[in-house]
Chain A
Amino acid sequence: DTGVSQNPRHKITKRGQNVTFRCDPISEHNRLYWYRQTLGQGPEFLTYFQNEAQLEKSRLLSDRFSAERPKGSFSTLEIQRTEQGDSAMYLCASSPEVFGSGTRLTVV
């Protein structure tokens, strides 16, 4: 597989629950990005990894959000104590221009 893979594709969760998403980037790409896209808007930057180092975090990434990239390979994005405002599409990109299909989160 030569693309960026994200799992799950869809996630429905109850408010207050924790959720975790996974991104598998293109293997030779050492840069990885997370974005969030709400309905009718363009994607907004959340965080950026160079290999395993998390080099930038947006102010959108509240303390309920945490991202990791152990060993510089796949990455996970965890949201704790989900709120209805967290409902969005979460996109992962490998290098600035190759995006995964996203994980659509719905918090009910």
Chain B
Amino acid sequence: KNQVEQSPQSLIILEGKNCTLQCNYTVSPFSNLRWYKQDTGRGPVSLTIMTFSENTKSNGRYTATLDADTKQSSLHITASQLSDSASYICVVLRSNDYKLSFGAGTTVTVRA
């Protein structure tokens, strides 16, 4: 069973609208959680990285939240743009062996 579960698998939104992506994890012991944006055929690009003590972190129109008690994270995209169309991957780092666990990603399609 994957230790990082993302939902929804995909979503389509209209340009200018907001959306929220979910990430639940069971990775332990926890070091940090990262959200990456991956355009088709490109390498992932880091959006945010959150440690145990951080609840919210923003990067432009992207806002990530973390609840380390419930092991849940979300990525909120505000006022979506066509360029936001991509796969968003949640990645959790384990602190004892520095191993990364990847979610399957959420594919976001923004339509005009």
Q: Please indicate whether A and B come from the same complex rather than being unrelated chains.
A: no
Which chain A residues have a beta carbon within 8 Å of chain B's beta carbons?
Answer: none
